[in-house]
Amino acid sequence: MFKNIFLIVLMCCFLQIGNSQNVLIQIKNQEKEKINYHFVDENKEVKIKLPEGHIPMNSFQFPIQRYEDGLCLIHAKNSFYFINTQGKKVITFDDITTNYHVFPFSEGLAVVRIFNSDFPSGQRDHYIDIHGKKVFDQYFYKANSFSEKFALVELLDENGKAKTGNKRWAYIKNSGKIAITFQDEAKEIVRLTPFQEGIATVIFKDAFYYINRVGKNILDIPLEENIKRVGSQFSEKIARRRIPKTEKNQQGNNFSFYNYNGEELFQIKNYNRVTSFNEGLCWVTQLDKENSSKNKRVFKQYFLNKKGEVALEYTEGRIASNFKWGLAKVKKETKSGYLTGFIDPYGNEIIEAKYQKAYRVSPQYIYAEIDNENYEIIDLYGLGIPTFKNNIILDKKEDEEIKKDNKPQLKIRP
């Protein structure tokens, strides 16, 4: 008898019905060599069952704010289709007779990539709307998902061939109009990023700079000697870049954090892993030299605030994620391996670390695997656990008036 393996793959979908919320959680069920996917509600009742071999390529989104959020892309052998929250096929691609690929919706538009040897470039992309209809007159050699109403594309020339050099790059608006191009060939562009917080990154071999929505260079940062990794995108108005080490035998790396104007906010030295800010905190790790050995390296685990100060040191195990909806995932080592739980911004264990795997699928629900055959869907609101709807509280000292028993007092969804 083969065990069933349940695994949440992506996110979930909430449908607002009166004052309650119904959730659709994606589950992978494997028995022998057969793999099936289905979606369950908060009571673990199967609502959508996909045929064998049909694989979800994205999730239903939370919250359902637009029709596109209620569409899930399914891949079946050599074909693709979209289903709605009732499991009904709403967009198919039966008219495409050559190899093709479809990408999930983003901001109401999805990319369809068609491969055809008759095309001068061998392939071309176009966008469709939520009804499956092609939008925009032009095709692109490569198109990317929209972010903040802009998408990065690679252009075709008048003969349908892919352009070369910096001229191949462009950002288009969600109207299809080309908004930003790159004509200067003096420095070769290595990579560009999507817009985030109204800013995109243009990366060269020896430098990088940030541009705004009209393509203006707003911040130019040279790469230090022997530092090949560029700066991060902005997250919560802060970005970071790696800077040279200050000691010969230094274990770890140094980082500079800066604002939109390029003004340095703070530096941190000798850290091994540094992430972007999320909900006011930045997850970092640092080698613990005293407790490390040649056979095993031990790391200190911190969350920093926006002043670069340690807001929380976690010593009970490993941090496994940034904060999301007010909770961060942690893992504790046991004889049988690492078990997963969740903590709040003050280090209080909100969900006990006793699960093989656990995923925060929404502000209200956590999917948690007990073992290979059993799982729970934890209703945080039902347990009366506070959740953060906005930014978390960064400094306990500044929060004495609304803090009680060392826990933040926040509104609980009724």
For residues 306 and 256, state if they share a domain.
Answer: yes
Same domain, 236 and 329: no
Domain count of the fold of the chain: 3
The DSSP bridge partners found for residue 274 are 284
Say whether both 274 and 336 belong to one domain: no
Same domain, 296 and 333: no
Domain membership of residue 40 as a residue range: 1-65
Last residue of some domain: 25, 45, 65? 65
Say which DSSP state 192 is in: E
Cα 113 from Cα 194, distance rounded (Å): 19
Query: Quick one: pLDDT at residue 293?
Result: 87
Domain-embedded: residue 403: yes
Last residue of a domain, one of 48, 65, 82: 65
Reduced 3-state DSSP string for 193-254 = CCCECCEEEEECCCEEEEECCCCCEEEEEECCCCCCCCCCCCECCEEEEEECCCCCCCCCEE
Looking at the structure, tell me whether residues 331 and 262 fall in a common domain: no
- Is the same domain home to 308 and 330? no
What pTM does this model have? 0.84
pLDDT along the chain (414 residues), means of 10: 38 38 76 82 90 90 74 93 95 94 96 96 97 96 97 96 95 97 89 96 86 93 63 93 75 88 93 94 92 88 95 93 93 92 92 92 88 87 60 37 38 29
Task: Kindly state whether residues 288 and 321 are assigned to the same domain.
Answer: no
Residues 408 and 363 in one domain: yes
Q: Does residue 144 belong to any structural domain of this protein?
A: no
Q: Which of 315, 330, 351 is the last residue of a domain?
A: 315
In a domain, 42, yes or no: yes
pLDDT of amino acid 13 = 45
Asked whether residue 87 is assigned to any structural domain, the reply reads no
What's the pLDDT score for residue 32?
66
Residue at 73 is within a domain: no
In a domain, 11, yes or no: yes
In this structure, the answer to whether residues 360 and 279 fall within a common structural domain is no
Q: Quick one: pLDDT at residue 229?
A: 64
* Bond prior to 63 in cis (omega within 30° of 0): yes
Closest CA to 395 of 316, 315, 312, 319: 312
Residue 2's pLDDT is 33
Q: Is 334 part of any domain?
A: yes
| Whole-number Cα distances in Å, 367 to 10, 31, 273, 361, 364 | 11, 21, 27, 7, 10
DSSP per-residue codes, 291-355: T--SS---EEEEEE-TTS-EEEEE-SSEE-S--BTTBEEEEEEETTEEEEEEE-TTS-EEEEEEE
203 occurs within a structural domain: no
Note whether 167 and 102 are within 8 A (CB).
no
Query: Are 361 and 410 within one domain?
Result: yes
Asked if residue 322 and residue 302 are part of one domain, the reply reads no
